[in-house]
A and B are shown apart, each in its own frame.
Chain A
Amino acid sequence: MASRTIIPFGPQHPVLPEPIHLDLVIEDEKVIEAVPSFGFVHRGLELLVGKKDFHQMVYIAERICGICSMIHGMGICYGIEHIMKIDVPERAKYLRVIWSEMSRIHSHLLWLGLAADAAGYESLFMHCWRIREKLLEIIEATTGGRVIFGVCKVGGTRRDIANSDIHGILITLKDIEKDYQNISKVFRDDYTINHRFSNVGFLSKKDAFELGAVGPTLRASGVSVDMRKTGYSAYRHLEFEALTENSEDCYGRCMVRVREIFQSFNLIYQAAEKLPNGPVDIKVTGNPEGEYFTRLEQPRGEVVYYIKGNGTQNLERFRARTPTFANIGPLVRMLSGCDLADVPVIVLSIDPCISCAER
């Protein structure tokens, strides 16, 4: 029997944008076991509920993560609105959907760039980020921020997109989609990418379901679960299907994201077409009293918020279960038995966002 060695992976590694540490137990270049450890970017954001009022907590929730900031803000607003029984104007719901889908596209494009880089395609990586840049400009012009949107507030949205501007935005989005179409072909058909991602990081349908995988990680194993199908915000009025792949490996996860970008473009077009006229926010009076579980679909998967209000300005409890945290268990399963050289690709395939997971 070959001797076992422990190789530390992270917290600083070229493939990791954020710090996570894995102790890899190696035997003959094969990973026998992976032991993850956290806590490098813990900020204690959830504890701030005692100091900040519930309006200010929206800004703090948005800063849990830079990539999914819109949906974090939307999640806490959605929970508080349900507790306070606030009926958000329809236009605000549609605007939230448009911005959420823009955030999903830019998150997936960022991931595709990183995936291309991991496969050794530096030029493809830059192409993905070049397209993302155009989208970020639209986001900045509509919300005021490139990364932190800051548009969600309890009772609606802070900004509105003028009906006259929507036509121009759609034209730009169609250009971006056309650009992206050329690049997506490389991810679909290229031999090197196919060879690098196929049969790597295998996660069976049963394991994915039992270990509680979420988002593209779960859908790539053939389980059709998408929280948007629960119909929160304006999603109930839009037509779409949860996209699944049956390959159960890193290639499947890549393909789910490649296809979801097209789906997000489609959802934006649908939402822009159905966008009703009217106000974008309503006045909020009183304080939240009660509790609520919010489940939303972030680019990385399902996020769960627990919000408890006690009738004062400060919430009593705020807790977020982010998608990366749910995907750590499946990641450990994927890593056991893989080659050492495949570890970076497998870790990347769950799209780890450690600042989300640690908050």
Chain B
Amino acid sequence: MFKLPVVKMLFVVLKSLFTGSACKMYPVCKQEVIKESRGFLNIEPSLCILCSLCSKKCPADALVVNREDRTWEVDRMKCITCGACVEACPKKCLILLPERAGSSIRKQKTDQFNIPIEKP
């Protein structure tokens, strides 16, 4: 029907004119978080038994588990949010949240969590 390529392109151009911008005005319109996304590693300290399986499985050596001090540390700049630790955790105390780490995380490089002593 339309042999001229200019006419074919016209549909795309007209559609773009009337559908508005495909970009989001970022600070005003926040990016929707996809809940399946691998974004941010978090721990529930009360469930952790300091088995250190997570740090053994971590391909980026981002996790440090210290049994003596009862601390669990994650280096946010090393963590590649692959989820290997989440799979390995026998107590299911690790979780990957869909939200991305904020930009201010750079100043606070390592996140340390104190693991409470298990009650008898």
Annotate A118-151 by CB proximity to B: 1 below 8 A, 0 otherwise.
0000010011001001000100111111001010
Give A183-209 interface residues, CB cut-off 8 Å to B: 183, 185-186, 189-191
Give A55-101 interface residues, CB cut-off 8 Å to B: 55-56, 59-60, 63
Contact residue among B5, B80, B84, B96 (Cβ-Cβ distance under 8 Å from A185): B5
Q: Does the CB pair A186–B36 fall under 8 Å?
A: no
Bound together, the chains give a CA A158 to CA B11 distance in angstroms of 42
Q: Does the CB pair A56–B84 fall under 8 Å?
A: yes
Give A169-191 interface residues, CB cut-off 8 Å to B: 182-183, 185-186, 189-191
A13 at the B interface (CB under 8 A):
no
Contact residue among A59, A137, A190, A191 (Cβ-Cβ distance under 8 Å from B82): A59
Which residues of A have CB within 8 Å of B9? 185-186, 190
Which residues of B have CB within 8 Å of A133? 22
Q: Does the CB pair A191–B5 fall under 8 Å?
A: yes
Which residues of A have CB within 8 Å of B83? 144, 150, 158
Count contacts on A: residues with CB < 8 A to the other chain: 29
Give B19-71 interface residues, CB cut-off 8 Å to A: 22, 34, 36-38, 57, 59-60
Chain B residue with Cβ nearest A143: B36
Q: Does the CB pair B59–A52 fall under 8 Å?
A: yes
Q: How far is the CB of A56 from chain B (nearest CB, A)?
A: 4
Chain B residue with Cβ nearest A56: B59
B87 at the A interface (CB under 8 A):
yes
Which residues of B have CB within 8 Å of A55? 57, 84
Main DSSP-derived SS at the A contact region = helix
Q: How far is the CB of B74 from chain A (nearest CB, A)?
A: 16
Q: Does the CB pair A59–B12 fall under 8 Å?
A: no
Q: Does the CB pair A158–B87 fall under 8 Å?
A: yes
Contact residue among B8, B34, B38, B84 (Cβ-Cβ distance under 8 Å from A182): B8
Which residues of B have CB within 8 Å of A142? 36
Q: Does the CB pair A140–B37 fall under 8 Å?
A: yes
**A127-B12, A186-B5, A191-B5 in contact; A141/B59 too (CB < 8 A)?**
no
Bound together, the chains give a CA A63 to CA B82 distance in angstroms of 11
Which residues of A have CB within 8 Å of B16? 123, 127
**A52-B59, A56-B59, A59-B80 in contact; A141/B8 too (CB < 8 A)?**
no
Which residues of B have CB within 8 Å of A159? 36
Bound together, the chains give a CA A63 to CA B60 distance in angstroms of 12
Q: Does the CB pair A141–B38 fall under 8 Å?
A: no
Bound together, the chains give a CA A114 to CA B54 distance in angstroms of 41
Bound together, the chains give a CA A145 to CA B38 distance in angstroms of 6
Chain B residue with Cβ nearest A121: B9
Q: Does the CB pair A137–B12 fall under 8 Å?
A: no
Which residues of B have CB within 8 Å of A191? 5
Q: Does the CB pair A150–B82 fall under 8 Å?
A: yes
Q: Does the CB pair A130–B22 fall under 8 Å?
A: yes
Q: Does the CB pair B11–A182 fall under 8 Å?
A: yes
Which residues of B have CB within 8 Å of A141? 34, 36-37
Q: How far is the CB of B84 from chain A (nearest CB, A)?
A: 7
Which residues of A have CB within 8 Å of B8? 182, 185-186, 189
Give A289-320 interface residues, CB cut-off 8 Å to B: none
Chain B residue with Cβ nearest A186: B9
Which residues of A have CB within 8 Å of B82? 59, 150
Chain B residue with Cβ nearest A134: B22
If A52-B59, A140-B34, A145-B38 are given as contacts, then 14 extra A-B residue pairs at C-beta distance below 8 Å, sorted by A number, are A59-B82, A60-B59, A127-B12, A127-B16, A133-B22, A140-B36, A140-B37, A141-B36, A141-B37, A143-B36, A144-B36, A183-B12, A185-B8, A186-B5
Residue positions of B touching A, CB distance < 8 A: 5, 8-9, 11-13, 16, 22, 34, 36-38, 57, 59-60, 80, 82-84, 87, 96
A-B pairs with lowest CB-CB distance, top 6: A56-B59, A189-B5, A144-B38, A59-B59, A185-B8, A130-B22
26 interchain pairs (CB within 8 A)? Answer: A52-B59, A55-B84, A56-B57, A56-B59, A56-B84, A59-B60, A59-B84, A63-B80, A123-B13, A127-B12, A127-B16, A133-B22, A140-B34, A140-B36, A141-B34, A143-B36, A144-B36, A144-B38, A144-B83, A148-B80, A183-B12, A186-B8, A186-B9, A186-B12, A190-B5, A190-B9
